[in-house]
Amino acid sequence: METSHQFLFGSEGTESQAAPCSRKQFFNALDSGLIGVILRISFGRFRFLLPEYWYRMKYKTVHDWLDYYIHRDSTTHMDKVALPGGNIDYTKKKESVAQCLMDQTDDMEYVRSQVLQTMFAAREKTAILISNAIFLLARHPAIWQKLREEMILYPDRDELFTYDNIMSFTYVQNILNEGMLESCSDSNGRFVTCTANSG
């Protein structure tokens, strides 16, 4: 979440005591809200039977948390630019999704919606990639064994699990790339084969 927080809001992922709720409460509300969306779609024209207050409360928790961080980080990340005559101009840095969106529109609901959509993508992609990679490794024991050997032979295993070292570890990168390309699961649980056009 720390990396996603930096990308989405432009600040470190440390929790603020002034936030309307904790990060754990936010994610619980987000998951419950998604269940509410699924139920409303499933019930169709009978969705009036669902307790509206329950999912509206979850949506409000999610919206309040996002609004807090979008507003906080858009006002705290400023560049001081000295102008002729001794005046100072404060210019917003474009370091995050939220800040870039706020430079384009004053519609905070739109900004919040786009940040939330980006958060969905960041959240699901990692889980899908890891599960696909493990699935493929389980089906190819020789590759799994070679990965184990490569990791055992790595010069400094204590430093292996840093961003730079993982990115430079070619064998792991190849496995992750295969996880993205070879096995994609759709919403019905069927497997679709996606082959890369290698020329």
**CA angle in degrees (0–180, nearest 5) for 102-105-107:** 95
Structural domain boundaries of the chain? Answer: 2-119, 140-193
The phi and psi torsions of 40 (rounded to 5 degrees) equal: -65, -40
Q: What distance in Å separates the CA atoms of residue 105 and residue 111, rounded to the nearest whole number?
A: 8
Give the residue-averaged pLDDT of 162-167: 76
Number of residues written out for the chain: 199
Q: What distance in Å separates the CA atoms of residue 130 and residue 109, rounded to the nearest whole number?
A: 32
pTM over 0.75: no
- Most confidently modeled of 7-21, 75-89, 91-105? 7-21
Three-class DSSP category at 84 = coil
Chain-centre distance for alpha carbon 117? 9
3-class secondary structure per residue, 111-122: HHHHHHHHHHHH
Q: Convert the pLDDT of each residue in 119-132 to its tens digit.
A: 877 676 777 788 88
Which runs of E-coded beta strand occur in 39-197?
Answer: 78-82, 88-92, 183-185, 191-193
